[in-house]
Amino acid sequence: MNKKFLFVGQSGVQAFSILLLNFIEILVFIRKHTDHRLCTDCQITLYQERTQETRKFISNSILLNTQEIKIAIPHIHHFMMAASASTIKEWKTEKYVDQKQKNWPNIGKHILAQYDEDSVIVYQAFCPEIADYATTNQRFGGPKFSFTRMSWIKTNFLWMMYRCGWASKPNQEHVLAIWIKRDGFDEILSKAYTPGTQKQANVSKDDVLVRLQWDPDHTPDGTKEQRRAIQLGLKGEILKKYATEYILKIEDITPFVLSKRPLLTEKKMQHLIVAQERVYPVQDDRTAELIGVDKI
């Protein structure tokens, strides 16, 4: 007797719909990369209910055997965690002038970030195709995203704004806020080398999975600050982990970015709202020494 398992994405629950879409991709991947025969004792029928036009349609119908299910379970668990996080995590904002005066150091190498006990937000700017895939699937991939090139992440919102010109530069028209696991971010930091520290540690270029840069931070209008901002270039295995395992939530904040452009004059700066950020505490002494972060 066949066993049927029904997964229904309910209207209004965006996170669960995303989970189903990713689950479909996982099953298709497993089917393509396994040689064992399929048995007919387990049938999974996936449905997704769209809010627009409120119609249901069958996304996929795949027969799985026990081994395929075992392969899929860890990935399903990851997407369930991501879906759960997306319903809780919120991007927080605060007045620029208040943060500059009260919370941000004027000089030194510091990681300004929005974080909580289990997550850290990083920023990236992409072309529409990469951004759409990322927000739809809540991970990176698709035909435009490259896992063979170094991908740079930034924890500092204003540093991201300087690099992408407030979402005005080609192929950087969409700004993404990306919640990643805090222990994943700490792992990235623990592998980060500048060319100087790489030479001191006698590490070959091919073995450097995270490239660290301390660049001048900038005010909203692009003026250089004395404080340094961190930029992290990821490649190889750490890039794959970041893009597919560490992510808890991806949100396109481009509408917010575009709405703030008119406030980038000196007279209007006092009204400017930006991402809420504080100095991130690097708790591991070895990592703090490796990346050269300054103490407050």
Mean of the pLDDT values across residues 178-182?
A: 98
pLDDT for residue 296:
82
pLDDT for residue 244:
92
Per residue in 263-288, pLDDT (tens digit) is: 988 778 889 999 999 999 999 999 99
**Alpha-helical runs (H) found in 87-148:** 96-102, 128-137
Q: 0.85 exceeded by the pTM?
A: no
Which amino acid does the sequence have at 239? Answer: L
Residue 42's pLDDT band (cuts 50, 70, 90): very low
pLDDT for residue 39:
35
What is the rounded distance in angstroms from the CA atom of residue 10 to the CA atom of residue 31? 26
Per residue in 3-31, pLDDT (tens digit) is: 333 333 333 344 455 555 555 555 555 54
> 289 versus 6: which is more confidently predicted?
289
Per residue in 119-141, pLDDT (tens digit) is: 999 999 999 999 999 999 999 99
Phi, psi of 253 (to 5 degrees): -105, 20
pLDDT for residue 44:
37
Lowest mean pLDDT across 74-83, 185-194, 222-231? 74-83
Q: Of 194, 135, 184, whose CA–CA distance to 155 is shortest? A: 184
Question: Which two structure tokens, joined as six digits, stand for 139?
Answer: 């991970």
State CA 151 to chain mean position distance: 11
Q: What distances in angstroms separate CA 132 from CA 98, 112, 129, 160, 177, one per listed residue?
A: 33, 27, 5, 19, 13
Helix (H) or strand (E) holding 180: strand 174-181
> 231 versus 22: which is more confidently predicted?
231
The mean predicted confidence, pLDDT, of the chain is 81
Q: Do residues 277 and 156 make contact, with C-beta atoms less than 8 angstroms apart?
A: yes
Residue 187's pLDDT band (cuts 50, 70, 90): very high
